[in-house]
């Protein structure tokens, strides 16, 4: 089994497979300096595109692939579809629901956008003190907003260009509602910017923003390769899929 990982769901799936005696390799992109490692064998780094992934699958006699990467990891997901298709290896997409998928967050003042650039363009009309929780990549789109003050939370330090008035806070979830409320109040935040990552590890900021009545600029998830592979929302459903093909 190959699990394309880096998410909590990927780690949970790898743990379940190891517990069942299923040989599994978890592949991490290597973009985080000290990633949380799952159970079982781990490889770090890319495959060299779809052809490289296809060669790796063939060389390691992989029976099935589960793409459990981050909802915004477009490149590896596209490579997974193409690479697995080249060698005829079954592929499943494991992707948790987005925060804006249903009615789970009534009362949140959503401002959905399609790109980070659209998020930057929306900010001047929403507030001057901005909490950025979109990760360290892509912060360059905010660099021209010299009149706004930013608090950016990242796992690893971001690289320039950055907004001229920015404070970087290094941290990794899960976070608590009380902690997020204290952070927003201390920095006098007026607007939150986040990607629609979904999950519970970082959702406390949404509760805090709702309580304080702050607008939330939500960057929508990118579209997936067409046609998309079979997709499930939970680890349990992924295990059921693997059982149907005799791999778990």
| Per-domain boundaries in the chain | 2-96+223-244, 109-219
Say what the pLDDT of residue 60 is.
Answer: 97
Superfamily of domain 2-96+223-244: NAD(P)-binding Rossmann-like Domain (3.40.50.720)
Q: Quick check: 130 and 148 in contact, CB under 8 A?
A: yes
- Across the chain, mean pLDDT equals 94
Average pLDDT over residues 176-190: 98
Say what the pLDDT of residue 244 is.
Answer: 92
CATH 2.60.120 fits 109-219, yes or no: no
The yes-or-no verdict on residue 176 having pLDDT over 80 is: yes
Say what the pLDDT of residue 31 is.
Answer: 74
Taking the C-alpha atoms of residue 219 and residue 122, their distance in angstroms, rounded to an integer, is 11
How large a percentage of the chain has pLDDT more than 70? 98
| Overall size of the chain counted in residues | 248
Domains 2-96+223-244 and 109-219 share a fold: yes
The yes-or-no verdict on residue 104 having pLDDT over 80 is: no
- Assign 29 a pLDDT band (cuts: 50, 70, 90): confident
- pTM to 2 decimals? 0.90
- Assign 102 a pLDDT band (cuts: 50, 70, 90): low
Q: Is 245 helix (H, G, I), strand (E, B) or coil?
A: coil
Average pLDDT over residues 79-104: 91
Phi and psi angles of residue 38, each rounded to the nearest 5 degrees, phi first: -85, 170
Say what the pLDDT of residue 103 is.
Answer: 67
């Amino acid at each position: 089994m190959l699990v394309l990982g880096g998410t909590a769901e990927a780690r949970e799936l790898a743990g379940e497979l190891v517990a069942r005696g299923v040989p599994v390799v978890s592949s991490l992109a290597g973009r985080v300096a000290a990633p949380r490692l799952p159970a079982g064998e781990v490889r770090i780094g890319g495959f060299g595109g779809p052809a490289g992934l296809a060669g790796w699958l063939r060389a390691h006699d992989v029976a099935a692939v589960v793409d459990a990467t981050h909802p915004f990891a477009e490149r590896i997901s596209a490579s997974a579809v193409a690479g697995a298709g080249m060698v005829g290896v079954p592929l499943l997409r494991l992707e948790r629901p987005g925060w804006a998928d249903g009615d789970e967050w009534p009362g949140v003042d959503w401002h959905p956008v399609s790109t980070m650039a659209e998020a930057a363009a929306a900010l001047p009309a929403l507030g001057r003190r901005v909490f950025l929780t979109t990760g360290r990549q892509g912060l360059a789109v905010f660099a021209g907003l010299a009149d706004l003050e930013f608090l950016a939370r990242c796992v690893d330090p971001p690289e320039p260009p950055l907004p001229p008035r920015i404070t970087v806070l290094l941290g990794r979830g899960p976070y608590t509602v009380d902690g997020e409320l204290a952070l927003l109040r201390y920095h006098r935040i007026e607007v939150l910017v986040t990607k629609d990552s979904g999950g519970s590890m970082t959702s406390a900021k949404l509760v805090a923003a709702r309580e304080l009545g702050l607008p939330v600029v939500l960057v929508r998830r990118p579209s997936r390769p067409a046609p998309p592979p079979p997709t499930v929302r939970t680890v349990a459903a992924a295990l059921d899929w693997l059982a149907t093909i005799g791999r778990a």
